[in-house]
Structure 1
Amino acid sequence: MIEFKAFQLHKAFTISEIMSFYYMEVASSFSFPPQRHDFWEMVYVDKGELQVETAAGMHRLPQGQIIFHEPQEYHVGKAIRNTAPNLVVLTFACDAACLSSLRGKIFQLNPGEREVLACLIREGTRVFNPPIDSPDIRYLERRDPAPFAGEQVICNYLEIFLILLLRRADPLPGEETAQSALPLLTRQDTGLDLINQVIRYLSQHTAERLSVEQLCQLFYTSRSYLMSAFKQRTQHSPMEYFNLLKIDRGKSLIRAGRQSLSQIAEQLSYRDLGSFSRQFKKITGMSPTEYRRLIKS
Structure 2
Amino acid sequence: MESPMVWLAYSVREQIRITDMYSLFEAHYENGYAFPGESHNFWECLYVMEGDVCASGDERVYNLPRGSIIFHRPLELHKFIVNGPRGADLLIFSFAAEGPLTSYLAEKVFQLSRAQQDIIAAMLSFIHAKAEESGSRNPDAHSAQSYLEPFLTSPVYSQMLATYLQQLMLSLAEAGAVSSASSAPDAVAFRRAISYLNSNVHAQPSVPEIARYCNVSEASIKRIFDKYAGMGIHKYLLKLKIKAAAELLQGGESVTSVAEQLGFNSQAYFSRAFKRETGLMPSSLKAISAQ
Name the TM-score, length of structure 2 as normaliser. Answer: 0.52
Residues 42-86 of structure 1, C-alpha deviations (whole Å, 9 max, x = no match): 111111111112323321111111111111111111111433100
Equivalent residue number for residue 164 of structure 2 = 157
CA distance, structure 1, for counterparts of residue 169 and residue 5 of structure 2: 38
Residues 100-155 of structure 1, C-alpha deviations (whole Å, 9 max, x = no match): 11222111111110111111222222345634844163423118987x92222111
Equivalent residue number for residue 39 of structure 2 = 36
Residues 22-47 of structure 1, C-alpha deviations (whole Å, 9 max, x = no match): 11122224221110011111111111
8 Å CA contact 1:125–1:132 kept in 2: the answer is no
Root mean square deviation of aligned Cα? 2.8
The offset of 1:162, in angstroms, is 0.2
Identity %: 22
CA distance, structure 1, for counterparts of residue 69 and residue 138 of structure 2: 18
The offset of 1:157, in angstroms, is 1.0
Q: RCO higher in 1 or 2 (8 Å CA, sep ≥ 6)?
A: 2
Does the alignment pair 1:142 with 2:150?
A: yes
Match of 1:80 among 78, 83, 88: 83
The offset of 1:5, in angstroms, is 5.5
- CA 1:39–1:136 in 2, change beyond 3 Å: closer, same or farther? closer
- CA 1:163–1:133 in 2, change beyond 3 Å: closer, same or farther? farther
Structure 1 portions without partners, runs of 5+: 171-297
- Pairing 1:162-201 to 2, within 5 Å after superposition: 162-169=169-176
- CA 1:120–1:132 in 2, change beyond 3 Å: closer, same or farther? farther
CA distance, structure 2, for counterparts of residue 8 and residue 60 of structure 1: 40
CA distance, structure 2, for counterparts of residue 86 and residue 154 of structure 1: 20
Equivalent residue number for residue 69 of structure 2 = 66
Structure 2 portions without partners, runs of 5+: 178-291
Does the alignment pair 1:52 with 2:55?
A: yes
CA distance, structure 2, for counterparts of residue 81 and residue 159 of structure 1: 29
CA distance, structure 2, for counterparts of residue 34 and residue 132 of structure 1: 26
Q: Higher strand fraction: Structure 1 or Structure 2?
A: 2
Q: Deviating runs (4+, > 3 A) in structure 1?
A: 1-8, 126-134, 143-146
Name the TM-score, length of structure 1 as normaliser. Answer: 0.51
Name the amino acid aligned to 1:36: S
8 Å CA contact 2:70–2:108 kept in 1: the answer is yes
- Pairing 1:1-297 to 2, within 5 Å after superposition: 4=7, 7-127=10-130, 130-131=136-137, 133-135=139-141, 137-139=143-145, 140-142=148-150, 149-169=156-176
Residues 183-220 of structure 1, C-alpha deviations (whole Å, 9 max, x = no match): xxxxxxxxxxxxxxxxxxxxxxxxxxxxxxxxxxxxxx
CA distance, structure 1, for counterparts of residue 99 and residue 5 of structure 2: 38
